[in-house]
Amino acid sequence: MPGDFQIEKLCDAARLARLPTAHGAVRTPVFMPVGTLATVKGVPQAVLEELQVEILLANTYHLYLRPGAELVRDLGGLHRFMGWDRAVLTDSGGFQVFSLASLRTLTEEGVQFRSHLDGSLHFLSPERATAIQIALGADVIMAFDECTEYPAERARALDSMELTLRWAKRCRDYFQAHRHEAPGLGDAPSGGQLLFGIVQGGMFPEVRAECARRLVDMDFPGYAIGGLSVGEPRALTYEIVARTLEHLPADKPRYLMGVGTPEEIVQYARLGIDMMDCVLPTRAARHGLLFTSEGRVNIKAARYARDSGPLDPACGCSVCTRYSRAYLRHLYACHEMLAQVLNTIHNLAHYLDTMRRVRQAISFGEFIRAASGVSSLGEHRE
């Protein structure tokens, strides 16, 4: 049954598990590539399959604006629309409304905003965001939350958390009344969508704890930690994640939104996080920044112009086994589209390999440091 989270092995706080969905089981800890507009920029779906991607993230805000949720629903849902029959998660749109849209007016009811594309006026509420996600038909959908800004005072974080909780209840109620409307359920006799709640609470552990406890009372099939990686020091992120996890049920999936570097996703898995997403591997790739077992490679650097070696000698991906650093540097220097395509494929391979090693380490009972590189880059969300 979708949502029947199966933990197979523990290694301290880290968990090896499977999240069954209507489009296949997702092995966790998992990194979810970001496919904002129902495409991982530049990468054909067949290549994502070769990379053994089991779940993608798509952005509700972007898909709501283009091509529109009704259109996607009428065409059979996101999976059929994008030719992808593995799992998809959609965010709620809240993060983008608060980061991309302009002229926001926040009320108890929801958020009025103008599109970042054409300035047109729109309104999202818990009900509307849930309805859109039901129409899109992703396997995992997210409650509409307010992503608390950083820094925020305690009182502000508390108010924002309370709003997120009231909205979470409205999302849950709307979802329970309308979940049967999701497209493509006929294709998935084993069940439908899963709605996850999101923990907010700023950088205040006790506010986070309160939010987590009251969300758990609402009994979601999974819980996300939102509102992190918003500019705070990394040590604080770790602390908030660790302290929040104490208040989330051990038998449900835990999703940390919008992180991180290869090193960080290993550390979050160690803390007990099951799911992560980040635009970092794909966005950095498009800017020529590549993650390898030997550290970061800025492929535009002149020193790679005559480097006939593979990008990452330890990587078995289709880019590292075929092309040289010199060729990748040439493509990037010439602004060739293939640069972005190949760079993205490699960075995703690196992230997915990293998580594969994490899962292996957990299964062997020895969660060694599995990942690459040295320095930290911060996190990013589209």
Work out how close the CB of 309 gets to a copy of itself at its nearest, in angstroms, rounded to a whole number. 11
Work out how close the CB of 65 gets to a copy of itself at its nearest, in angstroms, rounded to a whole number. 9
Work out how close the CB of 346 gets to a copy of itself at its nearest, in angstroms, rounded to a whole number. 12
Work out how close the CB of 134 gets to a copy of itself at its nearest, in angstroms, rounded to a whole number. 19
Binding string, residues 62-101; x marks residues near a copy of itself by CB under 8 A? ----xx---x--xxx----xxx------------------
Q: Is 314 in the site for a copy of itself (CB under 8 A)?
A: no
Contact stretch for a copy of itself (CB under 8 A) within 86-94, 264-272, 293-301, 332-340: 332-340
DSSP 67: T
C-beta of 248 vs 328, nearer to a copy of itself: 328
Within a 10 A sphere around the Cβ of 39, how many other Cβ atoms?
A: 15
Q: Is 44 in the site for a copy of itself (CB under 8 A)?
A: yes
Token couple for 279? 């635009």
Q: Is 308 in the site for a copy of itself (CB under 8 A)?
A: yes
Among 116, 122, 330, 356, binds a copy of itself (CB under 8 A): 330
Catalytic pick from 139, 274, 277, 312?
Answer: 277
**Do residues 120 and 114 make contact, with C-beta atoms less than 8 angstroms apart?**
yes
Under rule CB under 8 A, which residues in 215-274 are in contact with a copy of itself?
none
> Which secondary-structure segment (H or E) carries 175?
helix 154-178
Work out how close the CB of 278 gets to a copy of itself at its nearest, in angstroms, rounded to a whole number. 19
How far, in Å, CA of 246 to CA of 152, rounded? Answer: 23
C-beta of 259 vs 317, nearer to a copy of itself: 317
Active-site residue 145, yes or no?
Answer: no
Q: Which of 200, 60, 198, 37 is closest to 130 using CA atoms?
A: 60
Give how many residues touch a copy of itself by CB under 8 A. 40
Among 14, 19, 32, 38, binds a copy of itself (CB under 8 A): 38
DSSP 362: H
Contacts of 55 (CB under 8 A, 6+ apart): 21, 26, 30, 32, 86, 87, 88, 89, 139, 140, 275
Active-site residue 277, yes or no?
Answer: yes
Among 45, 90, 244, 261, binds a copy of itself (CB under 8 A): 45
Angle at the Cα of 316 (from 354 to 267), degrees rounded to 5?
Answer: 10
φ and ψ at residue 36, rounded to 5 degrees: -40, -60
How far, in Å, CA of 110 to CA of 92, rounded? Answer: 13
Q: Is 24 in the site for a copy of itself (CB under 8 A)?
A: no
Q: Is 160 in the site for a copy of itself (CB under 8 A)?
A: no
Q: Which of 140, 134, 144, 142 is closest to 72 using CA atoms?
A: 134
Among 176, 322, 363, 364, binds a copy of itself (CB under 8 A): 322
- Report strand pairing: 55-58 vs 102-106: unpaired
Rounded to a whole number of angstroms, the CA Rg of the chain reads: 20
Cα separations (Å) of 110 from 94, 107, 205? Answer: 10, 5, 26
Q: Which residue type, as a one-letter code, is found at position 217?
A: D
**Do residues 270 and 239 make contact, with C-beta atoms less than 8 angstroms apart?**
no
Q: Is 58 in the site for a copy of itself (CB under 8 A)?
A: no
Q: Is 46 in the site for a copy of itself (CB under 8 A)?
A: yes
Q: Is 115 in the site for a copy of itself (CB under 8 A)?
A: no
- Report strand pairing: 55-58 vs 14-21: unpaired
Work out how close the CB of 326 gets to a copy of itself at its nearest, in angstroms, rounded to a whole number. 6
Q: Which of 149, 145, 143, 150 is closest to 164 using CA atoms?
A: 145
Q: Is 304 in the site for a copy of itself (CB under 8 A)?
A: no
Work out how close the CB of 323 gets to a copy of itself at its nearest, in angstroms, rounded to a whole number. 5
Positions that interact with a copy of itself (CB under 8 A): 37-47, 66-67, 71, 74-76, 81-83, 305-306, 308, 318, 322-324, 326-327, 330-331, 333-334, 336-338, 340-342, 345
Catalytic residues: 91, 277
